[in-house]
Structures are given as C-alpha cells and as structure tokens.
Structure 1
C-alpha cells in the first residue's frame, strides 16, 4: 500500500500538544513530525513499525537538527503515541481492508470456489438451461463491505481508545487527572500480549556485540568513551521498570544511544582557542574585566566581548 489514513482532529489533538510542550517545539513542527512517523510506519514490511526510525532519519524528514528530532521521539514515547517501536493503535486506525490488492485476491478465491461448487452440483437446471456464472465486482472501499455504527474518534489516531457506543468517551478513573481539552482522563491501557511482540528486558550481563562496537566507533566515539557508554547503557536500562524497560531490538536501541552520545561529545568539544562551556567563557571574560569576581557574574553588569 502506498497510502495511510489521517483522521479529522489530528491538528487539535491534546496529546500532540502535550508532546510538543515536552519536546519544547512548536505544535506545527510536532504535527509534521507525527505525519512523518506515520508515513515511515506505513512503508514498513510490518506496517506501524518505527523501531528503525532514528533521530538522524527523522531530522532529515522534518529539516531539523538530530537533537531536536531526538527530543520529539522521546516525547512521542513519553505520551504513549509510540510503544515498543510501534505506532500505538495502528491496526485500529489503519484497517487491513484498506489493502485493495489483498481484498481483490480474497474475492477472486471466493468466486472461484463458488464456480467449482456449481460444477460439482451440476451446472444445468431441470429445464436444460445453463446456470449463469456468479460474477460480481470486489468493493473498492470498505464502505461496501463494512458497517460502522459510530464514526471513529479522531483522537484514536494518536493511540486513544475509540469512543463508547453513543459517542461518549470513557470517564477518568478516581484520582486520575482529567484532560484539560477533552474533559476525560487517560485511556485505559490495552491488554498486554504475551510473547516477543512486547520485547524483552536487557540481560544483566549485556555487552555490546562486535557490530555494536564497530558502529560506536563509526559515529566517532573513542574506545574509552565506548566502554563508558556501554556501562551507562546497561545500568540505565536495567534500572528501568515497566513497559519502558522492554525493547524489541536492543541492538537498534544501542545504536541510537551511541548516536546521541556522539552528538553530545561533538557539542561539548570547543574549537581551538574558544571556551568549551559557559563557565569557561565567563572566566575568560572575567580576565578581561579584572574587577569582576568569578562568584558574582550578575552584579557587575555586562562583560566585554570575547576576542575573535
């Protein structure tokens, strides 16, 4: 399939606005990033899968820096819009019946079986006239083969559950905060599936593989930094609890961790002759202003411009 569904209300979904505030970006940028995630998920062999969508790829799609794309992906996960590398509620919003080619094949198989049954039972009636073959056209849309008592809620495009019969949304449980825009609490969590679909926890004795070490070196991490990041990675994920601690592809999670560590390393390295931090810049400037104390950067007013 080369298309996917987008429902009314996507631009005003409160969950999208909440994610934008978490990522510290505009709602318009967050909406564009979500559409990019849906497009990426629609093109995968397993539709809805975004486990291989990293910050660099998303940054290219939305024309932003990788650090911004990383904050956006983290916000999507924190808001429950992406879970275990999958777009939440994808199968509810993107129906299998949308696949026209698959639906036509199924129709042809049913038609073929019908003709074979007629041949087995006898193709002629008692008057001697030939029984006409049963032919019909496969429906082009699911409106001919499916009926819907209630239109789907636009909020479920971001993982919320569909409204109850009659259009009323589920009310918030006792003690749960109500949504400021919809007046409803957070949706109930879907039933947990067994097996590998939900991923697995990181083994306590995890070590990066040879491919993982080569990848870390390829993004610019020196060997001592790779060892440090491996220890941080293991301690961080072992300490996590709940669904966040389970991943479907730990190798991909390690690669994303290395990319972020390499970005942080490059960002913290200063060019020759330039300060490497705000504190170092202040100290350099204070040397140009002998009357300013290091522990009182505000009282003495603006500093002189740095050379170069």
Structure 2
C-alpha cells in the first residue's frame, strides 16, 4: 500500500485560493482523486490525459490546476508539481517492497530450516544425542534436563523448584528505564529515510507512550522490533522523515512552492 500525503493547510494555500470559488470544489476533487491514483499505480505523479475523464474530471478543470501551479502540462498528460520531493516515488516503493520480501523470505527459510532439523532426528533419539564416527549412537546423554528423572540431590528425588538449565517461558517486559536507540537501530532508521532529528523526536513520543500505558498490553518481548514498527506506522501516517542533513523540520506538502 502506498500513501498520497496532503498537508492540513491545503485548503488555505495560495494556489488553491487562486481557483475561483465556483470551480474550486470540482478542481480540488479532481486533484484529490488523481493523487492516490498516481501513488497506487507508481506513476511518480504523472496522469495520462485520458485519465482525467475516467476520474470524473474535465479538461477545463485540469487546465485550471495547471494555471494555478498544482499541475504541470507534459507530453501526453499532466504532472503533479514536485511530486518526488514530497510523495513516495516508484523507486523508493519498490526498494521498500523488495526489502520486505527479502525479510519475509529469510524468516520463512529460518522456520523451514528449524523444522527440517527437527524432522531429521530419528525416532527415540533426542536432538542433542551425539553419534560415534561409525554412525552408531554414542553413550552420551542429552544436555537437556529430563523432567521425568528424579534429582539425586533432593530428598526422595523430589525437586523443590525448576532445575538449572530448564527452559523458561518467554514473557514480555515493560519498556526498560534505560531504553535508547542503538547504533544498529539508528542505522536501520537511516536506511528507511529517517534523519537523526526525527528519530530522536519520534523516539521520545514512543517512550512516553509506553511508559504511560498500563496493563499487559504495555509489555513486549522485543522492544527494538516494537520501536521499528512504530517508525513504520509514523511514516505511513505521513510523519516527516527528512533524510537529508539540514532539512527543515517542517514537512512541506506536495503542492507547495
């Protein structure tokens, strides 16, 4: 899914106000339908002239958008002004999709490898049982604790608690007091297009939110992963990323300038 971003000051923008009132709703309606269509079809803001009518618009409305500077006329159709500065480009979207596909495939490969290792263990032989060089079972016990064998160090072989090395449930914890963005997390954020100033700002909101939250919903098993998902959702909501050093902290809309 891709997003078409619109700033909340759009209705008061000078370019919009230059459209006569009697035409404004129709022209802005065409602009608002064309934006998501371009984002979904990864056209980088290009709209074929025939699509104007398909979207319910007219040539006069398109010409008015060109006149005020929201669109530009190009060969065969129209182009959103400065699309690549403020909207997701085809190259960026495909890069993100490829990275996500690789991540999912790597996860599936790990799951399949773990399953195959389990399935390859012969019946009656634990995964930790060793074998001699001739392929026969070695007389070595599994390194895993056997819950059915009495503990000789306790009276009557009854254990008073969990044995050393026993598996424990993986339970979630609240956000650590010393939670901080590691170099690895910051490197990941930079690859996603986040500038340091926005990483720090969004992390402050992330920390405040989870420290204020109560109940079981406030516990997580992997806080760095929760932080990465938080940044992804912020980007989907149209929060500023501003990867370039020195970029103004104010997010400009696609129709500005």
Q: TM-score, normalised by structure 2?
A: 0.38
TM-score under structure 1 length normalisation = 0.33
Of the two structures, which has the highest relative contact order with CA contacts closer than 8 Å and spacing of 6 or more? 2
